[in-house]
Chains A and B, each alone.
Chain A
Amino acid sequence: MADRILMKGNEAIAEAAIRAGCRHYFGYPITPQTEIAAYMAKKMPKIGGVFLQAESEIASINMVYGAAAAGMRVMTSSSSPGVSLKAEGLSYIAGSDVPALVVNVQRGGPGLGGIQPSQSDYFQATKGGGHGDYRMIVLAPASVQEMASLTIKGFDLADKYCITSMILADGTIGQMMEPITFEDTEIKTYEKPWALTGTGCARKHNIINSLYLKPDELEKKNFERYEKYKEIEKNEAMWEEYMMDDAEVCVVAFGITSRVAKNAVLTARKEGIKAGLIRPITLWPFPNAPFEAAADKVKAFISAELSMGQMIEDIKLATKCKKPVTLCNRCGGMILAPDEILDAIRNAEKGELA
């Protein structure tokens, strides 16, 4: 087994990105993700890479757009208000079908909000954020180890599908330290014949573009892109099931909240309540399969999230509203305590739904 080292979640993302072959990072400081930029600033010059602090989040995402178009593995990272600023670039990157990795270490919102952990950018990440019809693959790590492994996975998926992968983390996972290992994972590389390399006077010019003034052409392009999205939905959904075999109450939680939920599920089990947990690891594509199965078996679902109830909509869609879904939430930077989720489990067990 490889050595266990203690690392902050944010640093694990940065180290994993470098191991995945990312040599270009463009960003702008914002709490609570600045360790990623600091790590890159230290490491990149020593390995022939580029770290550049841009003048704004807007500039940094456009530097990512340029670098991605040039065929490089590239990333940026930010936190909620900064990701709003990046939304324009995210839409262009999607509309141009170039691969990129974007990290959002979420904090409370809206507006300047706060700096404590939150999950209230779920809509922004999974439903859009920028304008137009597009999707990003959204990966939700729940541990420092996953901050690393999902970053590597995110780069791979981005290149495979020419899409943006977003790591949707939160201030807790970003700031906390846990032991992790970097096993020698094989890093796949992908041909990028579409990239801007210069024609070398040997081929027709490559154009990276999202403008289609003829509506029928734009529609066709969007239809094609959604075919690709269908493939991703079919192949790439990831989730974890915890004590779901005989569960009667199903807690649904991702990221940091899923860890609090596990504590609550364990305590509920000790009380004799058959509780379980489904943890979506991909938020888009949302893992429908375990919900379809669970909807026929459990009494109720509890959406435990650090927002005013955003993922709950996807749970209702995935379960086709076959069973009640209640919300157990905190927001604004407050974090659910195990007892709060435990209470929700007890109520659901008794059929007393909020």
Chain B
Amino acid sequence: MKTTEILIAGFGGQGILFSGKFLAYKGLMEELQVSWLPSYGPEMRGGTANCNVILSDTPVGSPIITTPDVLIAMNLPSLQKYVNTVRCGGQIYIDSSLINIKVERNDVEVFYIPVTQMAKDEGIGSLANMIIVGHLLENHPELSFDGASEVVENLVPPKKAALKELNMKALSLGKNYNK
């Protein structure tokens, strides 16, 4: 029985819910059981946003994550709020262009990736989130990078077809980071 609980947190507008959706669809494609639970309400309009994604090979119980296996922190308040909830042995992905502190825990694996800066440099400013997701896929064999383009195809509306390529570019950047 393997279950991965992923908590993604940041500002509204950083694509938090979208990256969660990507992971949920990817899980669906890998024939896992999945749940995707967004925060909702006024905070979505520019405040904090978070998203709970659970991927499991058995039916998902509670869709609400209290001790994530993986935390993706896209801003400082989110890191501070959730850093101590991550399960011992879990992973934390940090946007190190926006967060300039280090995690003081020794029992988790931490990835510092300056994704906001990378996205800016590559001209894909709004897709920093997907760079992190690309790196996460590389670290999670149960998801794998294969088929990512199919998921993007599913998620990006036809009207915004140009975004498909950019999303793939972001995912690849993340995949190859530090290689």
CB-CB under 8 A from A339, the residues of chain B are 66
B62 close to A338 (CB less than 8 A): yes
Which of the segments A37-45, A258-266, A346-354 contacts the partner chain?
Answer: A258-266
Measured CB to CB, the nearest residue on chain A to B154 is A6
Asked if A115 CB lies within 8 Å of chain B CBs, one says yes
B25 close to A266 (CB less than 8 A): no
- Docked complex Cα distance between A337 and B64 (Å): 8
A4 close to B28 (CB less than 8 A): yes
A6 close to B34 (CB less than 8 A): yes
B37 close to A260 (CB less than 8 A): no
Interface positions of B from 1 to 27, Cβ below 8 Å from A: 21, 24-25
- Min Cβ gap A40→B in Å is 19
Known: A6-B28, A177-B24, A179-B28. A262 touches B62 (CB 8 A): yes
Measured CB to CB, the nearest residue on chain A to B60 is A178
- Min Cβ gap A32→B in Å is 6
CB-CB under 8 A from B24, the residues of chain A are 6, 177
CB-CB under 8 A from A32, the residues of chain B are 40-41
Which of the segments A81-89, A120-128, A168-176, A283-291 contacts the partner chain?
Answer: A168-176
- Min Cβ gap A342→B in Å is 11
Asked if A335 CB lies within 8 Å of chain B CBs, one says yes
Measured CB to CB, the nearest residue on chain B to A174 is B40
Chain A 149-171 against B: per-residue CB contact (8 Å), 1 yes, 0 no? 00000000000000000000001
B35 close to A176 (CB less than 8 A): yes
B64 close to A171 (CB less than 8 A): no
Interface residues on A, range: 20 to 34
Asked if B38 CB lies within 8 Å of chain A CBs, one says yes
- Min Cβ gap B96→A in Å is 30
Asked if B123 CB lies within 8 Å of chain A CBs, one says no
Asked if B63 CB lies within 8 Å of chain A CBs, one says yes
Asked if B61 CB lies within 8 Å of chain A CBs, one says yes
Asked if A116 CB lies within 8 Å of chain B CBs, one says yes
- Min Cβ gap A33→B in Å is 11
Chain A 326-340 against B: per-residue CB contact (8 Å), 1 yes, 0 no? 000000000101110
Known: A4-B28, A6-B28, A177-B24. A260 touches B61 (CB 8 A): yes
A116 close to B41 (CB less than 8 A): yes
Asked if A96 CB lies within 8 Å of chain B CBs, one says no
B41 close to A31 (CB less than 8 A): yes
- Min Cβ gap B167→A in Å is 17
Q: Which of B24, B36, B38 has the most CB of A within 10 A?
A: B36
Asked if B33 CB lies within 8 Å of chain A CBs, one says yes
Contact of A178 among B34, B62, B64 (CB under 8 A): B34
Known: A177-B24, A178-B35, A179-B33. A263 touches B62 (CB 8 A): yes
A262 close to B61 (CB less than 8 A): yes
A172 close to B37 (CB less than 8 A): yes
A259 close to B61 (CB less than 8 A): yes
A176 close to B28 (CB less than 8 A): no
CB-CB under 8 A from B34, the residues of chain A are 6, 177-179
A175 close to B38 (CB less than 8 A): yes
B66 close to A176 (CB less than 8 A): no
CB-CB under 8 A from B64, the residues of chain A are 172, 256, 260, 335, 337
CB-CB under 8 A from A115, the residues of chain B are 40-42
A176 close to B61 (CB less than 8 A): no
Chain B 30-72 against A: per-residue CB contact (8 Å), 1 yes, 0 no? 0001111110111000000000000000001111101000000
- Docked complex Cα distance between A176 and B40 (Å): 10
- Min Cβ gap A135→B in Å is 31
Q: Which of B42, B63, B66 has the most CB of A within 10 A?
A: B63
- Docked complex Cα distance between A178 and B24 (Å): 8
- Docked complex Cα distance between A171 and B39 (Å): 10
- Docked complex Cα distance between A179 and B30 (Å): 12
- Docked complex Cα distance between A266 and B56 (Å): 15
Known: A6-B24, A116-B41, A260-B61. A177 touches B66 (CB 8 A): no
Interface positions of A from 174 to 224, Cβ below 8 Å from B: 175-179
Known: A6-B28, A259-B61, A263-B61. A175 touches B37 (CB 8 A): yes
CB-CB under 8 A from B62, the residues of chain A are 256, 259-260, 262-263, 338
CB-CB under 8 A from A31, the residues of chain B are 40-41
- Min Cβ gap B111→A in Å is 26
Measured CB to CB, the nearest residue on chain B to A35 is B40
CB-CB under 8 A from A172, the residues of chain B are 37, 63-64
Query: Could you tell me which B residues sit within 8 Å of A by CB distance?
Result: 21, 24-25, 28, 33-38, 40-42, 60-64, 66
Q: Identify 11 residue pairs between A and B in the complex whose beta-carbon atoms are under 8 Å apart, listed by A's number.
A: A4-B28, A115-B40, A175-B40, A177-B36, A178-B35, A179-B28, A256-B62, A259-B62, A260-B62, A262-B61, A263-B61
Shortest 5 CB-CB distances between A and B: which pairs? Answer: A177-B36, A176-B37, A260-B62, A263-B61, A262-B61
